[in-house]
Structure 1
Amino acid sequence: MTWLTDPFSVDFMLRALAAGVLAAVLCAVVGTWVLVRGMAFLGEALAHGMLPGVALATLTGAPAVLGAAVSAGAMVLGVGVLRRRSGLSYDTAIGLLFVGMLALGVIIVSGSRSFATDVTAILFGDVLAVTPVDLGTLAVATVVALLVAVVFHRPFTAAAFDPRKATTLGLRPRLAEVVLVALVTLAVVASYRAVGTLLVVGLLLAPAAAARAWTGGLLATMALGAVLGSAAVLAGLLVSWHLGTAAGASIAAVAVTVVALSHTLRLVHVRTTRKEPCSTHRTTAPHSASASPQPSRSA
């Protein structure tokens, strides 16, 4: 068992594991709603749209998380303004802002000679360099997300399945949508330090998608997604340690692999269940014609 315990005998691996588990719990809760509401593209766009803020924060010496939050918030507001002013569809507005923010980030990075941060660390994360401050920030974000998910569970559910009924019940579906977008932003911003702006979407979607193959309820999906996400973090860190691969990319790759395995096992389980012989039925031989009562013949 030394291959399992030795990697976590050093402090930075323990911090990486703690950060990954917190990110997995946070992303499982938010990712379940992302799947239900079909908001995967928004999560991906937010992850890419953080690049300008992170780059500017690095150049000015400000906290990278603060820059990521400002950039993601600006993108969310920009999507709303673009929809109202131009009449574009939701996904079109997101796509345009996504490309624009990503291009702006690359321009900032390429135009600065003093940019000392490795761009790959921004894009793919550096979970092995997580600090106690990063852990505290991620823990606070996870607690906040759990509280918001509990308080808004009913409005989220009603808005997802029947917006008209939600309005009738006074659950304010528009407010629920705004809060849900803010929750996705929080998850993306808080988790990017662990797995980067590109791979955070994998941790946001993969565990919840794997859990949905086995669960029917939202709470069950969140719980199982958190377990599968944590397992993906553990396995990804072990792969990174023993094979010398990038930790964030390894975690994301394992998480996506878990989705494939989960759905494959589910398909095998369904097919096996259908092929199982039905319970034994007691069959009785039909009475023969000769055994059936015959009308008496007259002599």
Structure 2
Amino acid sequence: MKKDGGLAKALALGGDRCAFGDIPTVAEAVAADPARLPELVACLFDGDAGVRMRAADALERVSRGDARPLDAFAERLLTDAAAIEQAEVRWHLAAVIPRLTLTEEQRGRAVALLEGWFENRASRIVQSAALQAMVDLAANDPELRPVAADMLGRAMRSRIPSLAARAKRILKPFEVDRATLDAALLPETKPLTLSVLPDRLAVARLAPGDGMPGWLDWTDPLVSATRTGEELSILCRESRVPEGVTAERGWRAFKVEGPLDFSLFGVLARIAVPLAQARVPIFAMSTYDTDYVLVRDEDVERAADALKRVCTVVAPS
């Protein structure tokens, strides 16, 4: 393809979005000459919807081969291009995203983006493409497997035949541990309500033969002690733990409002999955009545925002 014709001209067909155009030729030309990638990416923002659609199609075809030249455009594809609401652009971009080499921060944004596209029911094809892209991302990132399993579960529970069928096809080769998959496939239950406890907490480690420390106050709102053959572990207010005691400080707790019936299962999975999507580390503990999920103090707002998609979150008064 001659450069003087321009990729936009080659992709333009008078605004007819149903026409195939010169997509294969454009894709081959750009794959052979990656220096033309900026021109193709620019076509994603053309004023002609048909050009945008065919540019996204060509870009996806280019990414099937050596996707490394596209890494330089990862940030723009995750921000400017991802903001394009045109369904045809989104479903092609969804296929491109897992083929990019992303930073950890970019990968987190990619997960949030695909989650948003999956939840948007305006286009079944975009939903299916987002589902496939999430599974493709998880194939190279074990931390994302619970996220992908959760999305597969929601797709299979959906009342959208095409989406459920796509999920079943994807699930067959998808490798995930049985417990994660079982939790993802649970039927929907009543919504959870989480309360954010106000205290900063610490988890202290004492020797297994130590008695209960004098600085521990059992009247505090949340106190826990667990003894094993290797340690005595104390969870309590951070201010109670003296300097010099081995401890992880700076935790905050989300309390699942209970009591919870012992027959319930998958409660922690429903909380852990959106937090994994937001890449928030957690520490979980259970009592007779309920469950608690602890996050770092600096992650509380981010965790609350992620959990609000699946739970009711009550801030401390």
Same fold? TM cut 0.5? no
Which one has the bigger helix percentage?
1
Which one has the bigger strand percentage?
2
| Structure of greater relative contact order (alpha carbons < 8 Å, 6+ residues apart) | 1
Report the TM-score, using the length of structure 1 for normalisation: 0.23
Which structure has the larger Rg over C-alpha atoms? 1
